[in-house]
Every structure is written in C-alpha cells, then in structure tokens.
C-alpha cells in the first residue's frame, strides 16, 4: 500500500497500561489467569475498545474472541492477526498484549487511512495461551485447530478440579464446544505480532524480526515415588529418597539438551514439587514438569526418548518408581514464504531493518499453522527478558512493529 498508516503510539501505550491494571499481582507485575474474575474484567475492557473501532465481534464456547472488519469481498477467506491477554503469575505487561492491542491499532489505523480491504480483516484474541490453570498452553488455539477435541477439554482439569469446559461455562461461555474447531479455508493467512522474549534483535540493533519457524514443544509430567521416613532414624544405605532421584533426573534433562550439539535444543524442569516438604522428613515423592523444545521434530523427539530412558534407569538405581506421562508433543510450524516476504517488504517500506529468526518460544501461531499459512513479526525485548515484571519494549519499538504489521496485513488482504 502506498498510503502512510498513522499509528497512535501514545494511545497504544495508554491501552497497554490500562490492560496491565487488570491483575491479581501488584504493579509492575501482571497476573491474569484464564476464566478468573480479573480475566473477565480485562476481556470486558478489550470489548469496549473493539466496539470503539466499529468491529463486529463474536466469542466461541471457550471465549476465543473474533473481531471482524468486513472486506469488499467478504466471501473470500479472511486475513487474521492477534494474540492473547492471559498472563502467568508475576509476568510482564507486553507478552501477548502487544499482538492484541497492536492488532487492534492496526485495524483502527488502516480504517483511518481510507484503506478498503478486499479480504476481511479479523483480530483474534486467543483464550489461555499460557498453561497456568490447566497445564496445557494454547488450549484455545489447539481447540480451534482441532488438536484438542471437546472430550479432551472435558477431561483437562485444573487444581480446583474444574475441567476446561466447566470453568468456561462458569465464566459465561456456554456455546457448543464442537463449534470451536475452525472449518477449512476460513482464513487466507494469520500473522502474529509479538515481543521477541529473547536478546537477539536488541543485540543486533535490528528493530524487526521476521519469524521463519516456531519451535516444537513437548511436555512431560514425571512422578518419582520412594519411601519417606524420619531424617534421623533411617540410615543412608536404606534410603529411597525421591528428591535425590529427581535431582539426577533434572541433570539428565539438561544433558539431553546440551548433548544434541545445537543451541536450538532446550529442555527445562519448571516444576519440582517435593512431598511432604518437612525439614526432618525424607522426601517420599517428587512431581516434576519437563519442557522440551526444538525446531527439528526428530531431534526434539530424540530428547524426549532419552529423558524417558534416563528417568527409568535413574529410578532403578535409586530404588524408586517412576511414572512418566507425555502431556503433549506438538510439531514445529514453518512460516509461509510469501508472508515472510510481505513482512520484510513492509519493514523496508517503513525504512526499518529486519532479519529472519526462529521463535524458540511457542505461540498460538503454532496451532494456527494447522488452519492456514502463518507468519510472525517480532520486536525487541529489553535485555531479552520476558515472563517477569522487567519485561519491556519501548513505545517506539511497539509502534514500529504495528506499522510493519499494518503493511503486511494490507498486502495480504489486497
């Protein structure tokens, strides 16, 4: 598009600040867990902004929000953008929200410029990109892509015992869960704007990242069960200490990633829960979560296989039992070449340098890739920090990303 798109950076900053105030943690931290009262208040605020822009809106049975600007040829598959607004405990205020409010600013700015899209443009606000409440990330987009069917959603439960569908219904989302899955051909393309959550763009002094692939995540739940006892009465040769077994498993997880020989392999023990957790009691049980990621599916699956094998061997060595459950193992996503080209061209048109990079964090784009061609645009994250209150991208960096997204969507929508 030749016309200039005017992005109101001050308005966008004000909206990001306002959204951050819907939080169960004191500022500058943000805690916003799916289907809580705080989440619902944030959604209500967002819907007022959608109405101001003059978009038609609908929500599905999981609370995925779709805000649409009808194109001149509405029968054509739409072009979509969006992200999420839920936040892990004590997170920052830019993860996901830049893609949501930035996407909304794009539609507002394109409208103000006089642009008339041939294909409809749609903003999607995905439910629960974060795994905080139900242990599985992106269950909104997973369900949209048909990866999580209603039966699985009914069995997926949080610590409060409620299933996803029960919690959604209590939050007021009472549609038919079977209707969440998107039909084939509903979207021509999906492009997500996001903070990088890493240091590469800032270190290189490059304002725009164009993502080529999104790494494939797998999640393991490991339970090690030994024998408890009094810390003074049970002698060392007789012990079956679950914590010590878990410590060795954690080291094995690290080794599985390090020994692939590539920095694209990462593996993390994120939860290490010890029972009974008393100073004078031998730990009898440990629960661990293991997150394994790689851009190469065979390599990722090789790490998972090795971690399973090493866990069983270490359990036998430590005389404990091991229960290893694979919670999810998702394939990587490759971004569409034409969308990447459009994003690079948009950056060039804005006078901004861009570089191609891989997303090692996963996003709703990973599952939208099963629905339509996808792309992602990254902006720098200060010091590469994310998922904590220090997370920061400047208003100028955000505005640059929004302008690049606007040109990209305009090119794709025709």
Kindly indicate the confidence band of residue 1, based on its pLDDT and cuts at 50, 70 and 90: low
Q: Please, what is the average pLDDT of the chain? A: 96
| The CATH number of the domain covering residues in 217-329 | 3.30.70.360
What are the start and end residues of each CATH 3.30.70.360 domain in the chain?
Answer: 217-329
Of the pLDDT bands very low, low, confident and very high (cuts 50, 70, 90), residue 2 is low
Per-residue pLDDT tens digits for 69-115: 999 999 999 999 999 999 999 999 999 999 999 999 999 999 999 99
Cα 31 from Cα 42, distance rounded (Å): 11
**In the chain, which segments carry CATH 3.40.630.10?**
9-215+332-413
pLDDT tens, position by position, 192-235: 999 999 999 999 999 999 999 999 889 999 999 999 999 999 99
Give the CA-trace dihedral at 296, 137, 158, 286, to 10 degrees.
40
pLDDT band with cut points at 50, 70 and 90 for residue 3: low
pLDDT given at position 135:
86
Query: Given 3.40.630.10, 3.30.450.40, 3.30.43.10, 3.40.50.720, which CATH number is that of 9-215+332-413?
Result: 3.40.630.10
Task: To the nearest 10°, report the CA torsion of 179, 182, 185, 187.
Answer: 120
Q: Please, which residues have CB within 8 angstroms of residue 390's CB and are 6 or more apart in sequence?
A: 92, 382, 383
- Residue 218 in contact with residue 253, Cβ under 8 Å? no
pLDDT digits (tens, 9 = 90+) for 342-396: 999 999 999 999 999 999 898 999 999 999 999 999 999 999 999 999 999 999 9
């Amino acid at each position: 598009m030749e016309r200039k798109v005017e992005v109101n950076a001050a308005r966008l900053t004000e909206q990001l600040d306002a959204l951050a105030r819907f939080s169960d943690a004191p500022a500058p931290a943000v805690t916003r867990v799916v289907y809580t009262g705080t989440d619902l208040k944030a959604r209500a605020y967002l819907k007022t902004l959608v109405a101001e822009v003059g978009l038609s809106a609908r929500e599905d049975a999981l609370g995925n929000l779709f805000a649409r600007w009808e194109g001149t040829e509405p029968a054509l598959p739409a072009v979509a953008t969006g992200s999420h607004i839920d936040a892990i405990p004590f997170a920052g205020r830019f993860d996901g929200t830049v893609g949501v409010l930035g996407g909304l600013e794009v539609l507002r700015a394109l409208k103000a410029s006089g642009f008339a899209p041939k294909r409809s443009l749609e903003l999607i606000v995905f439910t629960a990109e974060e795994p905080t409440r139900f242990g599985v990330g992106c269950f909104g987009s997973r369900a949209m892509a048909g990866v999580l069917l209603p039966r699985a959603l009914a069995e997926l439960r949080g610590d409060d015992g409620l299933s996803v569908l029960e919690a959604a219904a209590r939050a007021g989302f009472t549609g038919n869960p079977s209707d969440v899955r998107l039909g084939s051909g509903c979207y021509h393309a999906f492009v997500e704007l996001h903070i990088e959550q890493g240091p590469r763009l800032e270190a290189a002094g490059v304002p725009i990242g164009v993502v080529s692939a999104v790494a494939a995540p797998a999640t393991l739940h490991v339970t090690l069960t030994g024998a408890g006892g009094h810390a003074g009465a049970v002698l060392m040769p007789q012990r079956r200490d679950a914590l010590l077994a878990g410590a060795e498993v954690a080291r094995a997880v690290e080794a599985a990633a390090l020994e692939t020989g590539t920095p694209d392999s990462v593996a993390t023990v994120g939860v290490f829960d010890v029972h009974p957790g008393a100073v004078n009691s031998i730990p009898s049980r440990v629960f661990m979560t293991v997150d394994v990621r790689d851009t190469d599916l065979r390599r990722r699956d090789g790490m998972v296989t090795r971690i399973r094998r090493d866990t069983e061997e270490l359990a036998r060595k430590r005389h404990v039992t091991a229960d290893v459950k694979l919670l999810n193992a998702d394939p990587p996503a490759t971004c569409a070449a034409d969308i990447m080209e459009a994003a690079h061209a948009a950056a060039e048109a804005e006078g901004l340098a861009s570089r191609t990079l891989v997303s090692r964090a996963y996003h709703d784009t990973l599952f939208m890739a099963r629905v339509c061609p996808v792309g992602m645009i990254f902006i720098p994250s200060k010091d590469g920090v994310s998922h904590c209150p220090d997370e920061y991208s400047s208003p100028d960096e955000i505005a640059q990303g929004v302008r690049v997204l606007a040109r990209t969507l305009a090119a794709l929508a025709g």
